Amino acid sequence: MKLGIDSIKLPESKKRGPLANLDHVKELGLAGIFFSTALDMSPTVDLGELRDIRSKADELELYLESGIGKINPYCSAEEPALRAIGDGDIIAGFTRMIEASAAIGCFELWVAPGNFKSEYRGRMANDRFRTDVTWEEQLAGIEKVLQKLAPVARANGAHMNIETHDEITSFEILRLIEKVGSDCVGVVFDTANGLQRAEHPVFAAKRLAPYIRQTHIKDAYVGRAPGGLDFQTRPCGGGIVDFATILPILAEANPALNLSLEAAQSVDDKRRKANPRQCIEIDDPIWRADHPDLTPDELAAYMATVDAYEKRVASGEVADWEAYEASQYGYPTYEHQSYGFDAAICFIKQSARHIEAICRDKGIALSSPAQKQKAA
């Protein structure tokens, strides 16, 4: 396995550009980079530019991963670049990205089933609870897009890997894989996103393990709050995710799997509103009715994990939502947000140390030379 990072959450990634990002990743002692789409490597999907990036990644002994973007046709209008690269034909745009990615050896390709709008609180923050179209209709639309692209993926030896994103459940992803085919569809396992659907990360890892081909490695605070549960991204080891159990599951299923850290994004790269609370409305009847696959046993295990974490918060072992927010972002004075470049790098390094330590303790080999040296 190799431990790298998602490019979007790498501070100053857009300013630095893809080639310089590879140097920065190497300097951080990480083993690779996950560009969300081919457009993040080359906005015009220029094969010359893409080959230069592949050549440099190989020279630095870094893994290189990519994707094709959001495949929910009901949110395509919010991602105009995906249509533009196909000259108005979004399927042509996706096809072009699959073919260009495969041409540089990127066969595992990220796709996501919706958007998350952090400016809204509760269930309305994600597409699952849109009122203009049902989630079932959106899932049917996603399946149709995957079916249209399946021959392209198969012809190029590629997999379109569905992220366990904020709005979708692991059960729904498995049904999409069954309908379209595991020969061209897999999973990007985000270790924390399933918490927003009340899925226990270990349960989800076991369910999805045979199909996990890419990852987003992140942790989160989950605790009781008005309206349900609060969710807040934390460095790996600082939240609720049991990496000591999950990483061996992933390693056994796919020993060559790349582990791509997803850090909290620097406010220098993306400004944010003061005190943005992300509520999981777990006690709301509408929310509960929309999760028919969630079993009592898994929900009980999930809440037991929340309870155990809240005891750590109560003891002072870890900061509560408000204390962490104040320490990281310098609130209540919004203009003086402190979570900039240096803080984001610290977040990344802290997360990397935690994952490396677990891999060392569990006998999971990290094949990056730098990480091998650290694990020795």
Please give the tally of structural domains in the chain.
Answer: 1
Within 10 A of 317 (CB to CB), how many other CB atoms are there? 9
Runs of H (alpha helix) within 61-126 = 80-84, 90-103
Round the average pLDDT of the chain to a whole number and report it: 93
Domain that holds residue 98: 2-375
Question: Model's pTM, two decimal places?
Answer: 0.94
pLDDT digits (tens, 9 = 90+) for 47-72: 999 999 999 999 999 999 999 999 99
CA distance 291 to 171: 10
Tokens describing residue 61: 């002994």
pLDDT digits (tens, 9 = 90+) for 166-224: 999 999 999 999 999 999 999 999 999 999 999 999 999 999 999 999 999 999 999 99
> Would you call 360 exposed, middle or buried from its count of C-beta atoms within 10 A (0-12, 13-18, 19+)?
middle
pLDDT digits (tens, 9 = 90+) for 269-323: 888 776 678 899 999 999 999 999 999 999 999 999 999 999 999 999 999 999 9
* 345 has a pLDDT exceeding 80: yes
pLDDT digits (tens, 9 = 90+) for 212-252: 999 999 999 999 999 999 999 999 999 999 999 999 999 99
Q: Report the greatest alpha carbon distance in the chain.
A: 57
* Mean pLDDT to the nearest integer, 131-152: 97
Reduce the DSSP state of residue 2 to 3 states and report it.
Answer: strand
DSSP 126-186: BGGG-SSS-HHHHHHHHHHHHHHHHHHHHHTT-EEEEE--TT--HHHHHHHHHHH-TTTEE
| Per-residue model confidence (pLDDT) at position 330 | 61
CATH of the domain at 158: 3.20.20.150
* 263 has a pLDDT exceeding 80: yes
